[in-house]
């Protein structure tokens, strides 16, 4: 840059010395400033543009599975449930007792001296108690795996919805920009007619109002694109660049199976139902464990004691007596937990089946709306726009009719866009209920 500025500064110094100040000012305004503007514009235009990172749906799902905080937390909980099985299979540790002291004679023939005690005790766990604890830990593993599957399913489908919401907002922004550009062209045409006296001035005012409204809509659409992109970034949880682009993806809707087939698929594959079933088994295993805990657990003890004048060996059995505490409270709590788990399973099952019915109806309604648009509504709106434009150009209709036709076309295009993405959103919800997580419905 200095290579160009030094000769330029020398030239300015020479001009300042040889040309009057007022002439130099005119020269700078008419020639020098436009030349500098062209120079710097050319310099910045020729710089290589910054390439924004392109994010595909498959890459977004992969990053979500790795970095989403909720998925990472659920994965850690599932690992903790597997570790709980190791704890459940562990045997009670033995206990060792060591003691020493001194013996003093109390009779004339007694012997004084050191004494010692060495004892070993081992609790014998009843098979029923151990089996119940093991079943509870295994049910906990199934519950953790199902909870992880539910979190993964929910988060991945939330990312898919957010990804296509970005595409939807980008399409809305494109339509808003096209509408703004078209209204500017209309406004230019109206101004020409007003200037030559072919149209009244209120038509120009009406056009200016429509242009300002379209500009506001275009800016709002850009803000919604940014908001949708930020929401997608927060759901993924991975460190994405501030300026990233979302790659275009085709809509994934297809022919659905019957409602009865969808119900069977939901009851078979839905991880939330598997989680509720595992919790039922876990609660039942806890009840068995509390009942088995009422049976006293014996402890075998072996000890050796050495006195100054004798050695003693003992083998004994310790058995607690369930007189005051018969575990009525823990057993009642566990029984209530079984009833609660059963009720929660029924609630989840009915709720998900009801949700499937609602989403299925929503999908059918959106599908019919898309078919209405595709069968001729869009073509009719475009045809009406062309007729109104031709009529305005030839003076057969006023600007109000032309703008109304343009507004109807814009609204129809936006409604068609919303119907298509509503159909896509309903499809994603059905995929979630069917426990399908892949980018292509796999």
| Model pLDDT for residues 165-216, shown as the tens digit of each residue | 999 999 999 999 988 888 888 888 788 878 888 778 887 888 888 889 889 9
Q: Per the domain annotation, does 294 fall within a domain?
A: no
- If one counts the domains in the chain, the total is 1
pTM comes to: 0.75
pLDDT score at 132: 92
For the segment 290-327, what is each residue's pLDDT rounded down to a tens digit? 999 888 889 999 999 988 888 889 999 998 888 888 88
311 lies in some domain: no
Q: Residue 14: is its pLDDT beyond 70?
A: no
Q: Which residue has the higher pLDDT, 149 or 37?
A: 149
What is the SS3 assignment for 428? helix
| 129 in any annotated domain | no
Q: Classify residue 41: in a domain, yes or no.
A: no
CATH classification at residue 246:
1.20.1600.10
Strands 113-123 and 95-103: antiparallel
Which one has a higher pLDDT value, 438 or 234? 234
Beta bridge partners of 117: 99, 305
Q: 230: domain range?
A: 53-90+139-280+350-433
Distance CA 251, CA 249 (A): 7
pLDDT on residue 255: 77
Q: Inform me whether the pLDDT recorded for 44 exceeds 90.
A: no
Each residue of 179-202: b (16+ CB within 10 Å) or e? bbebbeebbebbbebbeeeebeee
- Tokens 């919805």 sit at which residue? 161
Compute the C-alpha angle 251/255/261, nearest 5°.
Answer: 130
What's phi and psi for 318, nearest 5 deg?
-105, 130
* In-domain check, residue 6: no
120-161 pLDDT per residue, tens: 999 998 889 999 999 999 999 999 999 999 999 999 999 999
Cross-strand pairs, 114: 102
- Domain-embedded: residue 421: yes
Q: Please, which pLDDT band fits residue 439 given cuts at 50, 70 and 90? A: low
pLDDT tens digits, one per residue of 276-286: 999 999 999 99
Average pLDDT over all residues of the chain: 83
Locate 211 and state its tokens. Answer: 């242009």
Residue 31 domain-assigned (yes or no) = no
In a domain, 240, yes or no: yes
């Amino acid at each position: 840059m200095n290579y160009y500025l030094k000769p330029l500064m020398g030239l300015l110094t020479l001009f300042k010395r040889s040309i009057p100040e007022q002439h130099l000012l005119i020269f700078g305004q008419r020639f020098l400033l436009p030349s500098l503007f062209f120079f710097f514009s050319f310099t910045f235009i020729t710089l290589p543009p910054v390439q924004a990172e392109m994010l595909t749906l498959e890459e977004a799902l992969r990053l979500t599975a790795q970095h989403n905080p909720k998925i990472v937390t659920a994965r850690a909980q599932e690992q903790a449930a597997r570790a709980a099985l190791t704890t459940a299979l562990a045997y009670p540790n033995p206990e060792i007792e060591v003691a020493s002291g001194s013996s003093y004679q109390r009779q004339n023939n007694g012997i004084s001296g050191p004494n010692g005690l060495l004892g070993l005790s081992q609790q014998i766990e009843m098979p029923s108690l151990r089996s119940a604890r093991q079943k509870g830990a295994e049910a906990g593993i199934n519950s953790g795996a199902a909870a992880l599957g539910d979190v993964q399913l929910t988060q991945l489908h939330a990312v898919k919805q957010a990804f296509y919401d970005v595409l939807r907002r980008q399409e809305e922004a494109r339509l808003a920009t096209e509408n703004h550009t078209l209204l500017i062209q209309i406004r230019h045409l109206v101004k020409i007619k007003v200037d030559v006296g072919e149209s009244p001035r209120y038509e120009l005012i009406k056009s200016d109002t429509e242009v300002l409204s379209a500009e506001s809509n275009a800016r709002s659409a850009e803000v919604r694109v940014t908001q949708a992109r930020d929401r997608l970034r927060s759901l993924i949880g991975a460190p994405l660049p501030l300026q990233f682009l979302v790659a275009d993806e085709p809509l994934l809707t297809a022919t659905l199976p019957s409602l009865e087939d969808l119900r069977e698929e939901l009851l078979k594959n839905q991880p939330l139902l598997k989680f509720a079933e595992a919790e039922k088994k876990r609660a039942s295993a806890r009840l068995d464990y509390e009942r088995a805990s009422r049976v006293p657990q014996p402890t075998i003890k072996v000890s050796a004691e050495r006195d100054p004048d004798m050695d003693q060996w003992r083998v004994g059995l310790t058995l607690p007596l369930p007189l005051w505490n018969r575990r009525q409270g823990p057993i009642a709590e566990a029984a209530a937990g079984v009833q609660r788990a059963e009720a929660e399973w029924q609630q989840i099952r009915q709720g998900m089946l009801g949700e499937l019915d609602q989403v299925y109806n929503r999908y059918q309604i959106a599908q019919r709306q898309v078919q209405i648009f595709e069968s001729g509504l869009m073509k009719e709106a475009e045809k009406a726009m062309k007729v109104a434009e031709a009529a305005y150009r030839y003076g057969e209709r006023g600007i109000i009719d032309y703008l109304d036709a343009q507004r109807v076309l814009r609204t129809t295009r936006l409604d068609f866009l919303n119907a298509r993405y509503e159909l896509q959103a309903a499809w994603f919800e059905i995929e979630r209920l069917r426990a399908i997580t892949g980018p292509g419905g796999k």
